[in-house]
Chains A and B, each alone.
Chain A
C-alpha cells in the first residue's frame, strides 16, 4: 500500500453510543495514486467525513488499515499532519484572526521558515484572490472567501496531499467554479494529490476517480466515465402533467429497467429507445396523461449515482420504503 498517496484496506470505524454501536465506515478500501484527484461521493451521513477524519488520524480507527504517503494514520499521525493540507467541512479557522494572521499562524505551526513565508503567503493570497483582504477578520469573510482562505492556509506548507471535506458546501455556484479551477491549477502545476468529499455530482465529474460510499460501504470505486457505462440501458426524459400515475405506469412496463424523478421530469431507463419511447407515449395517451415527447439524454453521474444506490438498497433487502433520491438522507451517523 505504500506507493499510493492515500490507501485504505478494510477500514472500519464504529461509534459507540449508550444503546448501540453504529458502523459509520464499513470495510472501505481504496487507493489513490499520487497526482490524482479522488472524489469520495455519497449522500449526507454516508460516512465521507468520518473516513476522511480517520485517514488523517483525527478519529481513532476501529479496524483495518489506512495510510497517507505510506504513514499509518494512527501511529504516524504527526508525520501525516506535517505533509497534508486539510479543510474541515464546517468553517473552522479562528474567526477572530485576520486573513494574514491566519496565514501566518498556519505557516508557523507547520514550521515554514520566515523567508519562505515572505514569499509564499503573498503568492497564495493572490492565488486565492484575497490580497485585498489581508486585514479582514476571517469570520467576516463571505462563504466563498472563507473556503478560499481555508484552501490557502492548507497549502501554506506545500503539502503533497490535500484532503478537502465538502469544500464548497454553502458556496454560491460562481465561487464553486472558481474554487475548482484553483484546484485544477494546483494539480497541474504542483502535481498535488487531491482527496475531496462532495455530495455534488458535477464536482464528482471533475475527479480522475470516484468512490461512491453509501451507509459506510464503498459501492463503486472507478473513473466517472466507466461508472456511467455501468448503468445498463438508455435514458429517456419527459415531463408529464400528472406525476405519480405516470411513474406508476412506467415502473411496471416491459423493457423499463428503472424509473427516477428529476425535478418536474421523469427519467426512465429502457433497453431500446425507439420501441420503448412509442410504448410509453401510447400508454400515457391511453391514460389521458398529457406529456412532451420523451428525449434520449446522456447518463450523468447523478443518474448513475441514484441507480447504483437503489440497486444497493434492493440487494441489501433492508429497505422496505421506496428508494430515495440522493438529496435526502441515507444512513445517519
Chain B
C-alpha cells in the first residue's frame, strides 16, 4: 500500500475546499449538532414530576389529609381534582385527565392506630415513565409516612424520647449517589448524547461522501489518476474528522456552560478517545458508501445505525436487560464503547487505566472496518 504525501495533501486540500465552499452543508452540519443536543437533552428527562392526581378521600380525617399533603410535598404529584368514588377516579384516568388516582378508604386514621391502614394508588400504565416515577414516589412517600407514624406512636408509648415527631429511628440509611448527586437525568444523558450526535453525523456524512463523487461523475476522473486507494480513503476521512471534532468541541462547551454539567476528567484524553470513536464511525460510513449507489441508499443505511445507536448501545435503555441478539448487534455499534468512555471521563473523571479496553476495541474496530473497505472498494468503476 503506497502513500504519497503530495498526493494525499492534494486530496485532503481538495476535500477541505469542497466542504468549506459548501456553506449550506456546514451550517446544516453544525446546526444539526446544536438542535439534536437541545432536543435530546431537554426531552431525555425520565423522572416525571407533578403528575396530575385524582384524590378520593373517603376518610376525611387528619391522617388522610397528612398523607395527601405528603404526596403533594414530594413534588411528584399534584392533587388536581377531588372525587367521590373510585369509579369516577378511574374514568378520569381513562379520559386522560389525570395520570394517577389516590384512593383512601374510610376509617384511615382508625386503621392506622390499629396498624392495618392501607391506601390504593392507581397509575396510568400506558405512560411508562409516569408509572415508574409515580410508583417509586408513592412507595417512598408511604414508607416515610409509615416510619414517621411508627416513631410517633413509639414515642407516645414512652419507648423513645419524645422530643419531636419521628426524631430518631433505629436505622437510618444514608445513600450517597456518586458523580451525579442530584440524580439529574440530564447529567446522565448528556455525555451519551454527544456520542450519539457524533456517530450520526460521522456515519451519514462519510456514507454520502463517496456516493456524491460517484453521482457527480468525479470519481471516474479521480480514478484515472495514480491516486492510491488508501490515499482516497484517508482523504475522505480526515476533513470529516476535523468537522466532527468541531461539533464535539461545540457540544462539550454547551454541555458545560449551558447545561451546567461539569467536566470531571481529562479533556486531552477525551479528545484522543473521541478521535478514535469518530474515526470508527467514519470508517463505518465509508463501508456503507462502498455499497450504496445513490445518496438515498446511503442515508437510509446510515439511519439504521442511528436507530441501533439509540436503542441498543445503552444510551437510554440498559444493555444488561437485553436479549443476546440485540446485545450482539449493539456490540457492533461504536457508540456502545464510546458511551462508557464519554460517561467515564466526562462524569466520573476516570483515566485510561479504566478505559483502555474500550479504547482498544475502537482501534481494532477502525482497523478491521478500513480493511474491509479497502477490500470492497476497488479502484475501478465496476
Chain B interface category by residue count: 20 to 34
- Knowing A86-B221, A90-B217, say if A96 contacts B380 (CB, 8 Å): no
- Knowing A82-B226, A101-B14, A108-B6, say if A88 contacts B217 (CB, 8 Å): yes
Q: What residues on B are CB-neighbors of A94 within 8 Å? A: 14, 18, 216, 218
- Knowing A94-B218, A96-B22, say if A81 contacts B17 (CB, 8 Å): no
Structural contact, A81 and B226, CB atoms closer than 8 A: yes
- Identify which of A25-33, A56-64, A303-311 touches chain B: A56-64
Structural contact, B224 and A77, CB atoms closer than 8 A: no
Cα-based distance from A97 to B224 in the complex (angstroms)? 18
Closest to A84 in B: B224
Interface assignment of B21: CB less than 8 Å from any CB of chain A: yes
Q: What residues on B are CB-neighbors of A110 within 8 Å? A: 225-226
Q: What residues on B are CB-neighbors of A53 within 8 Å? A: 381
Interface assignment of A92: CB less than 8 Å from any CB of chain B: yes
Structural contact, A59 and B381, CB atoms closer than 8 A: yes
Structural contact, A109 and B216, CB atoms closer than 8 A: no
Structural contact, B217 and A91, CB atoms closer than 8 A: yes
Q: What residues on A are CB-neighbors of B219 within 8 Å? A: 92
- Knowing A94-B14, A109-B227, A111-B6, say if A58 contacts B218 (CB, 8 Å): no
Closest to A58 in B: B381
Tell me how far the C-beta of B292 lies from the nearest C-beta in chain A, rounded to whole angstroms.
18
Q: Which of A31-84 contact B (CB under 8 A)?
A: 53, 56-60, 77-78, 81-82, 84
Tell me how far the C-beta of B112 lies from the nearest C-beta in chain A, rounded to whole angstroms.
78
Cα-based distance from A106 to B381 in the complex (angstroms)? 19
Cα-based distance from A81 to B232 in the complex (angstroms)? 15
Tell me how far the C-beta of B47 lies from the nearest C-beta in chain A, rounded to whole angstroms.
48
Structural contact, A56 and B225, CB atoms closer than 8 A: no
Interface assignment of B382: CB less than 8 Å from any CB of chain A: yes
Structural contact, A108 and B220, CB atoms closer than 8 A: no
Cα-based distance from A82 to B14 in the complex (angstroms)? 19
Cα-based distance from A14 to B267 in the complex (angstroms)? 55
Q: Which of B18-48 contact A (CB under 8 A)?
A: 18, 21-22
Interface assignment of A95: CB less than 8 Å from any CB of chain B: yes
Structural contact, A58 and B10, CB atoms closer than 8 A: no
Structural contact, B18 and A108, CB atoms closer than 8 A: no
Structural contact, A97 and B380, CB atoms closer than 8 A: no
Structural contact, B22 and A109, CB atoms closer than 8 A: no
Closest to A107 in B: B10
Interface assignment of A104: CB less than 8 Å from any CB of chain B: yes
Closest to A108 in B: B10
Structural contact, B226 and A108, CB atoms closer than 8 A: no
Interface assignment of B7: CB less than 8 Å from any CB of chain A: yes
- Which of the residues B13, B14, B18, B223 comes within 8 Å of A58, measured between beta carbons? B223
Cα-based distance from A94 to B22 in the complex (angstroms)? 13
Cα-based distance from A175 to B184 in the complex (angstroms)? 69
Structural contact, A97 and B217, CB atoms closer than 8 A: no
Cα-based distance from A101 to B226 in the complex (angstroms)? 18
- Which of the residues A95, A106, A150 comes within 8 Å of B225, measured between beta carbons? A106
Closest to B2 in A: A78
Structural contact, A109 and B218, CB atoms closer than 8 A: no
Interface assignment of A4: CB less than 8 Å from any CB of chain B: no
Cα-based distance from A108 to B14 in the complex (angstroms)? 11
Structural contact, A93 and B221, CB atoms closer than 8 A: yes
Structural contact, A111 and B7, CB atoms closer than 8 A: yes
Tell me how far the C-beta of A112 lies from the nearest C-beta in chain B, rounded to whole angstroms.
9
Q: Which of A145-160 contact B (CB under 8 A)?
A: 150
Interface assignment of B319: CB less than 8 Å from any CB of chain A: no
Cα-based distance from A81 to B225 in the complex (angstroms)? 5
Closest to B4 in A: A111
Q: Which of A121-168 contact B (CB under 8 A)?
A: 150
Tell me how far the C-beta of A161 lies from the nearest C-beta in chain B, rounded to whole angstroms.
12
Cα-based distance from A91 to B378 in the complex (angstroms)? 22
Tell me how far the C-beta of A254 lies from the nearest C-beta in chain B, rounded to whole angstroms.
52
Cα-based distance from A92 to B226 in the complex (angstroms)? 16
Interface assignment of A105: CB less than 8 Å from any CB of chain B: yes
Structural contact, B226 and A109, CB atoms closer than 8 A: yes
Closest to A88 in B: B220
Tell me how far the C-beta of A241 lies from the nearest C-beta in chain B, rounded to whole angstroms.
47
Closest to B225 in A: A109
Structural contact, A108 and B381, CB atoms closer than 8 A: no
- Knowing A59-B380, A82-B226, A110-B226, say if A92 contacts B220 (CB, 8 Å): yes
Interface assignment of B252: CB less than 8 Å from any CB of chain A: no
Closest to B381 in A: A58
Q: What residues on B are CB-neighbors of A109 within 8 Å? A: 6-7, 10-11, 222, 225-227
Closest to B15 in A: A94
Closest to B21 in A: A96
| A and B contact pairs by CB, cutoff 8 A, 29 listed | A57-B380, A58-B220, A58-B224, A58-B381, A59-B381, A60-B380, A77-B379, A81-B225, A82-B226, A84-B224, A86-B221, A88-B217, A88-B220, A91-B217, A92-B217, A92-B219, A92-B221, A94-B216, A96-B22, A97-B14, A105-B13, A105-B14, A108-B7, A108-B10, A109-B6, A109-B10, A109-B225, A109-B226, A111-B6
Known contacts A105-B10, A109-B6, A109-B7, then 20 further A-B pairs from the complex at CB < 8 Å, ordered by chain A residue:
A15-B382, A58-B224, A60-B382, A81-B225, A81-B226, A86-B221, A88-B220, A88-B221, A88-B224, A92-B220, A92-B221, A94-B18, A96-B17, A101-B14, A105-B14, A108-B7, A109-B10, A110-B225, A111-B4, A111-B6
* Closest CB pairs A-B (n = 9): A108-B10, A92-B217, A86-B224, A92-B221, A82-B226, A81-B226, A88-B220, A109-B225, A90-B217
